[in-house]
Amino acid sequence: MIKEYGIGMKFEIVLKILFDLLSNRTMTAKSIAEEYGISVRTVYRYIDCLDAAGVPLYTVRGNRGGIRITDTFRLSSTFLTVKEYEQVINSLAAIVKSVPDKTLKSAINKLKSAVKNEYSGFDIKSGNLIIDAGPWGDTEGYKSKLLIIEKSMEELSPLAIKYHDRNGEISERIIEPHVIVFKQGLWYVYAYCRLRKGFRFFKTGRIEYANLLPGKFVRQDLSKMNLPLDFWHNGSITETVEMEVGKSVLSDIEEWLGIENVKKENGKNIARAKLPFDDGLVSKIISYGNGVKILAPDALIQKVKTAAEKIAANYR
């Protein structure tokens, strides 16, 4: 029997569907319809509401198919305030005192954990080294991607990802993550790409979503000796760049290139480093304003001058 609901109840059902998907990750429209006594057509209308609200949903075909929410999507722990968490915990604790229940006790522990970790970042720990993976202006989605990648590596489960490359091309791939790399302030995953049939670096920020797939992959032996940490995007040509660095940006340049690549010569700060010769390099140099003066190569000097002139033209 199909029921008719008012507007308030409709929103309640939409929220319940969201929580069901967060719990099960994949559900069929038919099972949702039967659960709430609504039509399959209504289910899809409610799914459209969730999609419009920014919940990443998609449809999977086949016997195990259905409506799926991406593995990287999580509700922020701030979905409830600390006081609201405490009120819920206290209410559940009162019930458990009267009617002991293992499931409720487990729920209480999880809620307490959520409150405790409300503002904590995602840490990758290795011995005495702790790396905080949360960038400035971090979002729950970004941390969730790193969690899924780490889980993939631990369980040797392949990942289905949607990837946006630097050229604006979007592709869906299946990758086998082997290691997470932090380089020049950015997070990458070094993985075997089944589409390209080889290992590639994928910038985490360019992964739209990632989902764990069934099955296992065989981890290949990697070491720091053969891991290409001097990689460049899209095989860009590299050039040895020489620049004069002003005091106002000296610390920033030292963090970017490494303090060992900045020397004092004839009373001036001179930086030399092998860098990818592309538009990204020009944009990086422009961001330092007049704090940096390129000395070589000549081709880079010309590119920076042209870019600066175009910027100035916008304000004439």
Among 2.60.40.10, 3.40.50.261, 3.20.20.70, 1.10.10.10, name the CATH number for the domain at 7-69: 1.10.10.10
**Among 192, 179, 187, residue whose Cα is nearest residue 205:** 187
* Confidence check: pLDDT of 278 > 80: no
Query: What CA–CA distance (Å, rounded) separates 37 from 32?
Result: 8
Q: Which position has the token pair 């086949």? A: 62
Residue 96, pLDDT score: 62
* Strands lying side by side in the sheet with 57-60: 26-27, 66-69, 57-60
For domain 234-313, the question of CATH label 3.30.70 is answered with: yes
Other beta carbons within 10 Å of 143: 18
* Token pair belonging to 17: 């569907």
103-157 pLDDT per residue, tens:
667 666 666 665 555 444 444 444 444 455 454 444 556 677 888 898 899 899 9
SS3 106: helix
Residue 119, pLDDT score: 42
Pick the more confident residue, 206 or 299.
Answer: 299
* Confidence check: pLDDT of 290 > 80: yes
SS3 165: coil
pTM above 0.75, yes or no: no
Q: pLDDT averaged over the chain?
A: 78
